[in-house]
């Protein structure tokens, strides 16, 4: 999706402020995915047995990625939708 967003940004010639938001959305999701992976590995390192708190830690980290991904979709819609409408319906 990041590659598609970058390609659309180039094709639709977004301005520098829109680039800033697109890049924050892309790299924010990637950074949170790294944090999510780190939390999962630490939890797996600490305990091999099932523990409700370990499951909650993993679920909350995954939820953070999901919430930021939803924000990224909203940012993309706000930036790209008007430009796509103008592009296809002159």
User: Any catalytic annotation for residue 33?
Assistant: yes
Cβ-based neighbour number of residue 20 at 10 Å: 11
Nearest-angstrom CA–CA distance, 74 and 25: 10
2-10 long-range contacts, CB within 8 A, separation 24+:
2/26, 2/29, 2/30, 5/76, 5/80, 8/80
Residue of 18, 33, 40, 52 marked active site? 33
Instruction: Cite the active site residues.
Output: 33
């Amino acid at each position: 999706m990041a590659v598609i967003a970058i390609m659309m940004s180039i094709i639709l010639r977004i301005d520098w402020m829109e680039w800033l938001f697109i890049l924050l959305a892309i790299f924010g999701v990637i950074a949170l995915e790294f944090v999510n992976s780190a939390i999962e590995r630490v939890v797996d390192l600490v305990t091999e047995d099932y523990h409700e708190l370990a499951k909650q830690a993993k679920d909350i980290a995954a939820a953070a990625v999901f919430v930021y991904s939803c924000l990224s979709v909203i940012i993309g819609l706000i930036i790209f939708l008007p430009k796509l409408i103008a592009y296809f319906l002159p």
